[in-house]
Amino acid sequence: MSGILNSSIGRKFAMALSALFLMVFLLQHFSINILSVLAPDTFNDVSHFMGTFWVIQYLLQPVLILGVIFHFVMGFVLEIKNNKARIISYAKNNGAANSSWMSRNMIWSGLAILGFMGLHFYDFWVPEINIKFIDGDMSGLIDPNNADSGYRYLEHLQHKFVDGWRVALYVISFVFLALHLLHGFNSAFQSIGANNKYTKGLIGFSKVYAIGIPLGFIFIAFYHFFNH
């Protein structure tokens, strides 16, 4: 693995694989969260399953966290490694004219997303970890206002979108996510060599994904803000 990461092509390939992995997770995450709008009771049940099933908690969740860490660390490594080459290229060929704003600012959109993830973890992941593994009291997962109907996941989600400033932060973060994905999706496929007769279709799908998923999350945030 270290040998692969020592080459520029290897680093880009590893970065692409981690990006595709996180895109699959993002789609899965959205599929669950949209249930909070379409089928609240199902959202509670699915969230409880995801939050308590041991395979997800002790195997898949650590893999996801490592994937996130690897992706961001590798992004910073690639930025540092390519910085000198980029400066030389711009000086000789006016690189700014030959590359998109998104490709030149992936590091900044990535930092915005990283900051958002800190807020998102603070809002949702940390409280649940505290309930399950620190307090050790699973009754904290029950909705105190509606114990007969199930769990408190929906109530907790709705509560987080009461404040307009938090909704605004989420919306801005998802805009940065869309910008990041618009370049990152295509770049990931190119890095793994997916350049064939399906390329045009992949480009079209990447645009739908990169715009549609963040817009979907924005819709969820606004829905709960206006319906709390």
User: In this predicted model, what pLDDT tens digit does every residue of 23-49 receive, in sequence order?
Assistant: 999 999 999 999 999 999 899 999 989
Domain count for the chain? 1
Q: Both tokens of residue 198?
A: 């399906």
Instruction: With CA atoms as reference, report the closest residue to 75 among 178, 171, 184, 204.
Output: 184
What is the rounded CA–CA span in Å between residue 60 and residue 52? 12
Average pLDDT over residues 155-163: 92
Higher pLDDT, 4 or 42: 42
Angle at 86 between CA 83 and CA 91, to 5 degrees: 130
**Confidence tier at 92 by pLDDT (50, 70, 90):** low
* pLDDT-based confidence at residue 6 (cuts at 50, 70, 90): low
CA distance 135 to 128: 10
The predicted pLDDT at position 186 comes to 78
pLDDT at residue 96, rounded to an integer: 54
Contacts of 216 (CB under 8 A, 6+ apart): 30, 34
CATH number at residue 63: 1.20.1300
What letter would DSSP give residue 34? T
Structure confidence at residue 51 (pLDDT)? 87
The continuous run of DSSP H or E covering 104 comes out as helix 101-104
Q: What percent of the chain has pLDDT over 90?
A: 45
Choice between 148 and 40, residue whose per-residue pLDDT is larger: 40
**Per-residue model confidence (pLDDT) at position 187:** 79
| Least confidently predicted of 87-96, 122-131, 134-143, 218-227 | 87-96
Give the separation between CA 184 and CA 109, rounded to whole angstroms: 11
* Residue 10: pLDDT over 70: yes
pLDDT band at 12 (very low <50, low <70, confident <90, very high): confident
pTM score = 0.85
Domain span at residue 68?
Answer: 2-226
Q: Mean pLDDT: which of 119-128, 131-140, 145-154 is highest?
A: 119-128
Between 57-61, 196-200, 222-226, the lowest mean confidence (pLDDT) is in 196-200
